[in-house]
Structure 1
Amino acid sequence: MHTCPPPNQVLDEWLESYDSVRGPYGHLLLEQKSDTDNDLIARLRPYFESAHMDARDYFHAQIGIDLHPDAGSPGEEACYPNCLPPKALRGLFGEVMAGMLTEAFRDSFVGGHPWRVPIFLFRYHADVEAHLFSLARDERRRREVFGRFGSDFIGVVLDDGGRVSKFIAGEAKWRRQLTDSVFNELMLGELTRDPDTGERTRSGKGVWFELNRDTSVPHGLRQLQRLLEQRDPDGHAAAILSLDEALILDHPRPLPRTNLILIAGNGARRREAGDVLIGWEKLPNEYSAAHDLQVVELILRDGELLIDGLYSSLWT
């Protein structure tokens, strides 16, 4: 289970925050204000290790290596998540930060709900499992990996009886440089050319499209339920039952949902302090889902330095 609380003091020292809530819409801008150094990495590390612990345990058992192999042990090249290619690590970073910031800034989020992430969903990444299995047996088999399908993370609110009363489903996106063109492609899809007119328009297959068409109860909620059944069936018995009631096909129990979009990356060169990518004054026109929406913009100066330093330090 994920048991490490968010490092609130570290986040307060590292990031400047600007929050706004307008009815069903919340916006949180976070700007890096202190440099990335070994101290920051060391203080963020426990949360990241806790977030990845379930998947690390699961993948290492699946591929047949010890959880903490000694130097020179067979299969040590396939230790999760350290050995994954840079692109995959950047995706994982965004997903962990989505959970961390949701837990740390929950009072500033739309609704002010006491969100918590009982466990991350990283073990449900079939291509990573296949890659690690091959890599443990042939260290030359390094390659990029396909992204994980479904919600990037799920957070919940547990009532006094331990039942899930609300959930938040997150989409976390990392981009090295958050320019306008990169952002538009991310949210609205790639540019395509009309064969008749020659006009270039966005495909519409970006983040907004995926959020608007998602089912009210996403697949990630079933994955969360299965993980709770395997990892802590007694401690989360009420939560497991309440999720089952929400997931049945015949007359499911309605479960209020909040959508989260986390956009993380280095700010554009000409960006001014306080500039936002998604307006905070009103609910974006592109968003048509019926659920509350929370946007988080995490603007860094040296994000890749942080990610590489952080993931190379886990369990070392």
Structure 2
Amino acid sequence: MKERQKITRLNGISKWLSNSVSESEDKQYTHRLLKEDKNQRDIILSELILIVQKAHGDARSRLCKLAGNSLAPFGEFSESDPSEGYPERLHIQTLKGFFGEIFAGIIAENFSPFEHDDWEVPAFLFRFHPVVFQHLEFINQTGETAKNQPGRTGDDCLAFRRNIKGEIIGYLACEAKCTAKHDTDMISEAHKKASAANIKSVDIL
């Protein structure tokens, strides 16, 4: 099996985030509490920035590939980079959502969910968020200020486990919520989604 480099692997994460796990009495839920040591933030920040850049680089590359050949029949339109301004021109709420999805991948690849340390996040699903890319094209053409866009439907992040043949033997559906302070309603919403009746993730395909 070809080894995939985990783009969300953080070398200093154990120094930055303390990690404690507890289990409900009925064994139905496991809770992992991560607490930041702010004194270690500077140590991890450059590495975290690189992870975010790589994650968005995947979406940027896909967008450029989708642009393909020019559709202008007489060549009167100058070609431009369709990923220009991605993601920095987008609304802060959109960026917080993206960061939550990336952080879900960081947790999957660094904290051994369900006692497996071989989870892989091959791609971030915000690469499939056409509403955001349409809005980016609009603000690039008009110069208008970005507005908050509806979140992408489905799961926020998918991680996979593979056997020695490279075949998928397990998947992890992640739901991320990013907020500046504790928000009980937002957490309840995430629990409700994680407990939905569908057995398989709607984003498997």
Q: TM-score, normalization: structure 1?
A: 0.54
Note the 1:21-100 alignment, pairs <5 A. 21=23, 23=27, 25-35=29-39, 39-62=43-66, 78-100=84-106
**C-alpha distance in structure 1 between counterparts of 2:163 and 2:10, whole Å:** 23
**C-alpha distance in structure 1 between counterparts of 2:82 and 2:160, whole Å:** 35
Check 1:105–1:162 CA distance in 2 against 1; reply closer, same or farther (3 A cut).
same
Per-residue deviation at 1:213? 2.2
Note the 1:300-311 alignment, pairs <5 A. none
Larger Rg: 1 or 2? 1
* Alignment correspondent of 2:73: none
1:17 aligned to 16, 19, 31, which one?
Answer: 19
**C-alpha distance in structure 2 between counterparts of 1:75 and 1:163, whole Å:** 36
Note the 1:162-241 alignment, pairs <5 A. 162-178=166-182, 182-183=183-184, 185-188=185-188, 206-222=189-205
**C-alpha distance in structure 2 between counterparts of 1:26 and 1:155, whole Å:** 18
Per-residue deviation at 1:141? 4.9
* Alignment correspondent of 1:155: 159
Per-residue deviation at 1:24? 5.0
Check 1:165–1:5 CA distance in 2 against 1; reply closer, same or farther (3 A cut).
same
Check 1:35–1:135 CA distance in 2 against 1; reply closer, same or farther (3 A cut).
farther
Contact 1:60 1:79 in 2 (8 A): no
**C-alpha distance in structure 1 between counterparts of 2:109 and 2:166, whole Å:** 18
Check 1:112–1:75 CA distance in 2 against 1; reply closer, same or farther (3 A cut).
closer
Contact 1:77 1:136 in 2 (8 A): no
Q: Which amino acid aligns with 1:124?
A: F
Check 1:116–1:4 CA distance in 2 against 1; reply closer, same or farther (3 A cut).
closer
1:131 aligned to 113, 132, 135, which one?
Answer: 135
**What secondary structure does 1:117 align onto?**
coil
Higher relative strand content: 1
- 5+ long unaligned stretches in structure 2: 69-78
Structure having greater relative contact order (Cα 8 Å, sep ≥ 6): 1
* Alignment correspondent of 2:75: none
Residues 144-182 of structure 1, C-alpha deviation per residue, up to 9 Å, x if partnerless? 11111100000011011111111000110011111xxx2
Per-residue deviation at 1:40? 3.0
Contact 2:94 2:148 in 1 (8 A): yes
**What secondary structure does 2:177 align onto?**
strand
**C-alpha distance in structure 2 between counterparts of 1:128 and 1:157, whole Å:** 30
Contact 1:17 1:29 in 2 (8 A): yes
Per-residue deviation at 1:119? 1.5
- 5+ long unaligned stretches in structure 1: 65-72, 189-205, 223-316
**C-alpha distance in structure 1 between counterparts of 2:10 and 2:65, whole Å:** 33
Contact 1:116 1:157 in 2 (8 A): yes
* Alignment correspondent of 1:250: none
Check 1:77–1:62 CA distance in 2 against 1; reply closer, same or farther (3 A cut).
closer
Residues 94-139 of structure 1, C-alpha deviation per residue, up to 9 Å, x if partnerless? 1101101110111xx3243521111111111121011011122111
Per-residue deviation at 1:55? 0.9
Q: Which amino acid aligns with 2:50?
A: P
**C-alpha distance in structure 2 between counterparts of 1:38 and 1:148, whole Å:** 31
Contact 2:21 2:31 in 1 (8 A): yes
**What secondary structure does 1:166 align onto?**
strand
Alpha-carbon RMSD across the aligned residues, in angstroms, is 2.7
Per-residue deviation at 1:37? 5.7
Residues 168-198 of structure 1, C-alpha deviation per residue, up to 9 Å, x if partnerless? 00110011111xxx21x1244xxxxxxxxxx
Per-residue deviation at 1:211? 2.3
